[in-house]
Chain A
Amino acid sequence: MSNSNSTEIIRAGLKKRYAREKRFRLFGIASLMISFAFLLVLLFTIVSKGWPAFQQTYVKLDIELDESVLKVNSNSDEDALYSANYQKVVRASLNKMFPGVSGRKKKRDLRNIVSNSAAYTIRDDVLAEPKLLGTKQTYWFLAKDDIDVFMKGKIDRNLPEDERRLKDYQFEWIDKLIEEDRLEKRFNTVLFSNGDSREPEQAGMKGAIMGSLFTMLVTLMLSFPIAVAAAAYLEEFAPQNNKWVDIIEININNLAAVPSIVFGLLGLAVYINYFGVPRSTPLIGGLVLTLMTLPTIIIASRAAIKSVPPSIKEAAIGLGASRVQTLFQHTLPLAMPGILTGTIIGMAQALGETAPLLMIGMIAFVAEVPTGVLDPSTVMPVQIYLWSDSPERAFTERTSAAIMVLLGFLVAMNLIAIMLRKKFERRW
């Protein structure tokens, strides 16, 4: 075969090769664009829906802390102050502003301009400073969810009266309140300072955030050391070509593919029913999520440890370092970026996990903010699920807002991962 002949053959094929390359590049760009578009749509939907939830409507009321109505005075003991009926003074204030309301339903609607948390706000103030009794105070109370929804423009006035949540007489009250500058939208601190509640305007996700935090803490504390130790042993110490080691390896790989709800059942059967770990707590949640996270971290850690150049290990061993010293002084530090990436992926997965937690009672309605790993609590994804299931209109926005907070946490975790990787990354 002469040289010029092969050149001809190569040249004839060149065009096809370049076309193929170009086509492949186009496919790549197209798939990137599609996923980017989906991401944009997703973010836009969530943000546009959830945005209003970061604002909350407040109502200004003048409250007369009348000692005769409350049946207490500044000398009463704490129990009496605590159990006094503060709802009455709120109602009196509303009645004074809108006189002549009659009928049970209308009276209830009038009461429902402000959230029933108004009474607790007053109670807390009076408990802190009993001298307030007998004076007249101006308060900004949370507005009831229907008022809030209307203020955010989600109730159409022009619909026929029987098709909307607010009736004509309620609009009259609202108009009057607006006229007197008694309605105001403010940043929604309740969302971050309250636990869950049946009343949308009082529902916050602090309980879920703290629950998630404690659960993640338990998961991290258990899964990171166990997984890294397991990976290090399997890579550096376990006998090669050993049947038992092979079986363990296969099982770890299979565990990574087990549906997460199965881990929930396992946790229910073993941890709760056998060991008696209290249900609905971050402790049991963390234990179950550890089971789920372990294979992910082990597989990533093994890959990271395997990718450490053997020349570095040989150098250390050649200088007289023991195998454990080599592992801790060289192999693990060099593998740390990969191990951390795996850990963060595992933790992010665990943070967004709902299914296994349903099995161990973390779906319960918990209004209290947990203060430790043994307090009943729920977690963010479960909170999202609970809110999305609630009938009140105001929960729709809160659901989206909660998703935004969850996504914020995920982004923060990824940022930490990148920072840690930068910190530990070394060239060799």
Chain B
Amino acid sequence: MTDVINTMPGMPRAAPLESETPKPAVDAITGEKHRSEFDVEINGTVGKPLVDNAKMSSRNCDVFYGDKQAIFGVDLDIGNNEIIAMIGPSGCGKSTFLRVLNRMNDTISICRVTGEHTLDGEDIYGKKTDPVLLRARVGMVFQKPNPFPKSIYDNVAYGARLHGLASNRSELDDLVEASLIKAGLFKEVKDDLQKPGTGLSGGQQQRLCIARAIAVDPEVILMDEPTSALDPIATATIEELMDELKSNYTIAIVTHSMQQAARVSQRTAYFHMGKLVEVNDTDKVFTNPEHQLTENYITGRFG
């Protein structure tokens, strides 16, 4: 991909960094060899990937799909009640890393995850850890709104019913209402709770999915490009929602929109070809990045 951009007329060619010599590299995902000035050697992560009050943390995270390695030795902490954004070009491993955090990769049989990963200091890949309990504590919102083909009420109530969080009907009603209010959807659907969730608009569906995730009362919410299928107005609603949610939840969001990362997050992590290049406060990443690759990406030279 970088080759194409470099040879495109009208694009400024970035000068090779002084210390690095261009050499062939193997793309982590496709296995293609390519040669360009952007094949900068990535030696560890610059910035401050580690924080004091970590809610979740990963050390030496490697992820393999069969023989191919998708993530190379990532160290990253996610602080309590913060929003951390993960950005990077397609195939850089940011979504894969997100799915490490609630063991969604378990569903892919050829996927292998190594390293140490903890939630509140507990090993989430440990023998004692139950993935079901983990996913109840670390909820997830997906790229494409994926409500169940059930009523709005049943969508939100699903997780609570699954884990037995409500002991009777009125408790469940309250929980559904509270979750819909938190997700900013209640006003729009309060008279239509028995209508199918799939009948809502795209933005409403995504907020329904958020309501469904927070109904389980998770501590961390992982969002995998939650607004990439939505229009700007729906996107703005969801970004406001994230801002409100941040006081109660820890949020990790993967996004392709740098504006979104800049708007909602406190810290930003930049991934490149399976490696974590830079983690810094969002302001710093977008105004004064430490790493050349980060700068190339946020200035739109590739991605």
Measured CB to CB, the residues of A under 8 A from B are: 239-241, 309, 311-323, 325, 330, 334, 426-428
Contact = CB atoms under 8 A, between A and B. Distances in A.
Given A321-B132, A321-B162, A428-B148, 13 more contacts: A239-B109, A240-B109, A311-B144, A311-B146, A314-B107, A315-B142, A319-B139, A319-B162, A320-B133, A323-B107, A325-B162, A427-B149, A427-B196
Interface stretch (B29-37, B56-64, B80-88, B209-217): B209-217
B135 interface: yes
B149 A319 contact: no
Contacts of B158: 316, 319
A427 B198 contact: yes
17 contacts: A240-B109, A311-B146, A314-B104, A314-B140, A315-B142, A315-B212, A316-B158, A318-B102, A318-B104, A318-B135, A319-B139, A320-B134, A320-B136, A322-B132, A325-B162, A427-B198, A428-B148
A428 B198 contact: yes
Contact of B146 (A315, A426, A427): A315
Interface in B89-145: 102, 104, 107, 109-110, 132-136, 139-140, 142, 144
A320 B149 contact: no
Contact of A319 (B110, B144, B198, B213): B213
Nearest to A313: B107
A313 B135 CA distance: 14
A428 to B, nearest CB: 4
Taking residues whose C-beta sits less than 8 angstroms from the other chain, chain B's interface range is 20 to 34
A169 B107 CA distance: 86
B73 interface: no
A318 B140 contact: yes
Contacts of B140: 314, 318
A284 B102 CA distance: 50
A317 B132 CA distance: 8
A94 to B, nearest CB: 72
Contacts of B216: 319-320
B55 to A, nearest CB: 18
Contacts of A426: 149, 196
Contacts of B213: 318-319
B196 A317 contact: no
Contacts of B134: 320
Nearest to A239: B109
Given A319-B212, A330-B148, A311 B142 contact: yes
The 3 closest A-B pairs by CB, nearest first: A311-B146, A318-B140, A426-B149
B47 interface: no
Contacts of A427: 149, 196, 198
Contacts of B146: 309, 311-312, 314-315
B170 to A, nearest CB: 22
Contacts, number: 68
A314 B142 contact: yes
Contacts of A334: 149
A321 B102 CA distance: 13
A325 to B, nearest CB: 7
A320 B135 contact: yes
A323 B106 CA distance: 11
B59 to A, nearest CB: 24
B291 to A, nearest CB: 32
Nearest to B141: A318
B163 interface: yes
Contact of B162 (A240, A320, A323): A320
A320 B215 CA distance: 12
B159 interface: yes
A426 B135 CA distance: 27
B142 A320 contact: no
Contacts of A239: 109
Contacts of A428: 148-149, 198
Q: Which of A311, A312, A318, A321 counts the most chain B CB atoms within 10 A?
A: A318
A313 B213 CA distance: 14
A238 B102 CA distance: 22
B148 A320 contact: no
Contacts of B135: 317-320
B38 to A, nearest CB: 33
Nearest to A326: B107
Contacts of A240: 109-110
Contacts of A321: 132, 162
Given A312-B146, A314-B142, A319 B196 contact: no
A315 B132 contact: no
B142 A318 contact: yes
A321 B160 CA distance: 11
Contacts of A309: 146
Nearest to A240: B109
Nearest to A333: B149
Nearest to A428: B149
Contacts of B107: 313-314, 317, 323
A261 to B, nearest CB: 40
A240 B147 CA distance: 28
Nearest to B161: A329
B148 A315 contact: yes
A312 B149 CA distance: 9
A245 B230 CA distance: 40
Q: Which of A240, A322, A325, A428 counts the most chain B CB atoms within 10 A?
A: A428
B188 to A, nearest CB: 20
Nearest to B222: A318
Nearest to B135: A320
Contacts of A323: 107
A212 to B, nearest CB: 36
Q: Which of A317, A323, A330 counts the most chain B CB atoms within 10 A?
A: A317
A240 B158 CA distance: 30
Nearest to B137: A320
Nearest to B155: A315
Interface string B144-180: 1011110000000011001100000000000000000
A182 B148 CA distance: 70
Contacts of B133: 320
Contacts of B109: 239-240
Interface in B168-222: 196, 198, 209, 212-213, 216
B148 to A, nearest CB: 6
A311 to B, nearest CB: 4
Contacts of A316: 148, 158
Contacts of A311: 142, 144, 146
Q: Which of A311, A313, A316, A320 counts the most chain B CB atoms within 10 A?
A: A320
